[in-house]
Amino acid sequence: METEHSLDKACYSASLSLRDIKITDDFWKNEMELVRREVIPYQWEALNDRVEGAPPSFCMRNFRVAGKLNREKREKGAAFEEPKYTFRGFETLPEDPEHLEDKFYGFVFQDSDFSKWIEAVGYSLTQHPDPELEKTADEAIDVVCAAQQEDGYLDTYYIINGRDKTFSNLRDHHELYCFGHLAEGAVAYYEATGKDKLLRAAQRFADYIAEYFGEEEGKCKGYPGHEIAEMALVRLYRATGETKYLKLSRFFVDERGKQPYYFDREHPEAVKKGEEKELRYQYHQAHLPVREQDEAVGHAVRAVYLYSGMADVAQLTGDDGLYHACETLWNNIVNEKMYITGGIGGTHVGEAFSYAYDLPNDTAYAETCASIGLVFFARRMLQMKPDSKYADVMERALYNGILSGMALDGKSFFYVNPLEVNPEACHKDERKFHVKPVRQKWFGCACCPPNLARLLSSIGSYAYTENKDTLFVHLYMGSVLTKKVAGQDVDVCIESDFPWNGNVKVRVRAKGSSFKLALRIPEWCGSYTVKGAETARTRTKDGYLYVEKDWEEEEVLELCFPMEVRLMAANANVREDIGRAAVTRGPIVYCLEEADNGKDLHLVSIDTASVSVSGPAVQDETVCQVPVKTIELPGFRQEKPEGQGLYIPWSAGQKKPVRLKLIPYYMWANRGENEMQVWTRAE
């Protein structure tokens, strides 16, 4: 019996193997193809510093240097080189880029770029075998493994700079973060190819870490300064069955925030100087034990990676208390700290969550990685409790704040995803220097592009989860699924034209089986219809329509989720958005761009009275050769009289009626540098 405090464990579900899912719809297949054809090869060039005009990565170079040192044994006595702190973390820059010595270069977490790349390669190979890419990947793995130390340690920063300082700065130096990405990449590559060289390397590193950290007496009581090891260890546990990895993950989750703070023990000089302030602990989500945290604070990527790890541990250990801690944090994010695009992180100071309802549009951070982490968190919450509130946010982030991170041609990227851009301000106002008005080829700190690659190439694994008798459909992407559910062969084929059209066909071939289908009812549709379920037992619960029956040879359910154009308002506490409306249709958030509406977007407004009479016009068009539905609305443009002084007596001013044209937010900035805005004045 489910109570407020105990979850129904029979509802726990797991994500499906990518092998069982084939993505067929135009929208996501196109994104996956971009990753396969453009992003993966491009990133390989970037990891090898071969992209002209892009900041060098040094990633593979560092592995090569570390591998050489590994073979020749590092000379003792070389001075430990502290990286310098830059805006986004600790970076070691070459003094003379022409004549590089055999040193470590780049950010201390540069190894993770390889790991995310190999993870994306693994997923891509699952869907699309490619012997040449696999050969490149195998060779890259050889380079990485050559750097591994005899004791299993594998982080090039410390291999090159001195093992004596290993784990001496967990707070800032990302060794456990690099390990986490390595483990994720290794499992993905193993599952795709069956090749276990990298998996064994990741396990050896994990074993080393498990010897060093833990609750047992004598072991280090530290935890990662940048979370991810928590969920990576769970993944390693699922792949290998080694319970010590799950135990270590739970240790990292539970140790965080205990007093006295581990980071204080590690940095006594900072404590002495009084530098260790509440905000500093919050940055790492280390201010309180995680079960007592009820507000999402600090660095947004770190936070959602931690919450994802907490959710993993909660599910695997059946820990309802931990689930409820996750749920509290989830609710706090989506009710007070999330942009309408699914972006999170309202301030660039610390790349962090701001206070409740502080969601500025033009200085937003909304890092691509943070929205990706929110999707990780959402899927894990869904696995414990099939409640559409999680899938709605997952869909919102995927179609909006994540896809905006990559250009339509897959060749340039956004790190920061603002909701309003005036390019002049980005160039001249230091407070907005983090906001780029055009996507960049690469970044010195290149966390986002390879994160996008690994997410998009595994997109199918977010559409479904399953438990012993139910298949949950969370996202309606055209796909074919072939597998056993409740012990019976089942074929489920989804035909959909999401996100442009809400008609979905679910074709089920499962004769002899009586498994349940649980179909998400999207939050954005007021009402929906379903045909073909007349002979089934149906009920709705937590935003899912459950369809149960003895399936015949082939059956088709036809769902219709009407996609109306909606004018949305923000909560009145969001000061930035008061009096403004955002336009959405189905899962897509729309925006105005200068290319369609001219300069000075701050002067336009939506004529809401006319919208309710004549309605918006939805049109099929192409933007940069990509088919899309655009929206036209009646609006006004305020006139700028010639020679007007800076301050004048107030009057309503002159305005002329205009047609406003909106395109999907994720498509903005594909037609050159120009203004953009999501929230527009409404009158």
Is 351 marked active-site?
yes
Rounded to a whole number of angstroms, the minimum distance from the CB of residue 329 to ligand FUB is 18
Residue 482's DSSP bridge partners are: 491
Closest residue to ligand FUB, judged by C-beta, is: 301
The entry of ligand FUB, Zn ion, none that residue 226 binds, CB within 5 to 8 Å by partner kind = ligand FUB
89 binds ligand FUB per the rule CB under 6 A: yes
Active site residue 326: no
- Number of neighbouring beta carbons within 10 Å of residue 529: 10
Beta carbon nearer to ligand FUB, 144 or 301 = 301
> Is 229 among the residues that bind ligand FUB (CB under 6 A)?
no
Q: How do 470-473 and 464-466 pair as beta strands?
A: antiparallel
Binding mask 34-73 for ligand FUB (x = CB under 6 A): ----------------------------------------
Q: Which does 109 bind (CB under 5 to 8 A by kind): ligand FUB, Zn ion, none?
A: ligand FUB
Q: What whole-number distance in Å separates Cα of residue 189 and Cα of residue 118? A: 7
* Residues near Zn ion, by CB under 5 A: 367, 369, 447-448
Q: Which two tokens stand for residue 272?
A: 């002495």
* 230 interacts with ligand FUB by CB under 6 A: no
Residue 223 within binding range of ligand FUB, rule CB under 6 A? no
Residue 345: CB minimum distance to ligand FUB, A? 8
**CB contact set of 426 (below 8 Å; sequence gap of 6+):** 432, 433, 435, 436, 437
**Beta-sheet pairing, 503-509 with 555-560:** antiparallel
Q: Least Å distance between CB 279 and ligand FUB?
A: 16
**Distance (Å, whole) CA 438 – CA 271:** 41
The binder of 373, among Zn ion, ligand FUB, none, by C-beta within 5 to 8 A per type, is none
* Residue 301 touches ligand FUB, criterion: CB under 6 A: yes
Decide whether 110 or 597 has the Cβ nearer to ligand FUB.
Answer: 110
Three-state secondary structure of 580-649: EEEEEECCEEEEEEHHHHCCCHHHEEECHHHHHHHCCEEEEEEECCEEEEEEEEEEEEECCCCCCCCCCC
End-to-end CA distance of the chain: 50
Contact 664, 619 (CB under 8 A): no
Q: Between residues 87 and 355, which has the closer beta carbon with respect to ligand FUB?
A: 87
Those residues with Cβ within 8 angstroms of residue 358's Cβ, 6 or more apart along the chain or in another chain? 346, 347
Q: Whose Cβ is closer to Zn ion: residue 80's or residue 433's?
A: 433
The tokens describing 208, both together, are: 């080393």
Structure tokens at 450: 């390879």
Which of the choices ligand FUB, Zn ion, none does residue 88 contact, using the CB cut-off of 5 to 8 A by kind? ligand FUB
Cβ 329 vs Cβ 264: under 8 Å: no
Does position 88 interact with ligand FUB (CB under 6 A)? The reply is: yes
**For residues 447 and 574, which CB has a smaller minimum distance to Zn ion in the complex?**
447
List b or e across 10-26, with b for residues whose CB sees 16 or more CB atoms inside 10 angstroms: ebbbebbebebbebebe
Where do we find the tokens 């935003």?
A: 543
CA atoms 339, 498, 540, 22: torsion sign = negative
State the number of binding residues for ligand FUB (CB under 6 A).
Answer: 10
Which of residues 209 and 448 has its CB atom nearest to Zn ion in the complex? 448
For Zn ion, which is the closer residue by CB, 369 or 667?
369
Q: Binding string to ligand FUB for residues 345 to 384, with x set by CB under 6 A, is what?
A: ------x---------------x-x---------------
585 vs 72, 339, 571, 665, CA distance in Å?
61, 16, 19, 11
Which one from 91, 119, 351, 395 is the annotated catalytic residue?
351
Instruction: Select which of 59, 178, 445, 447 is catalytic.
Output: 447
Summarize as ranges the residues that interact with ligand FUB (CB under 6 A). Answer: 88-89, 109, 226, 301, 351, 367, 369, 445, 447
* Active site positions, annotated: 351, 447
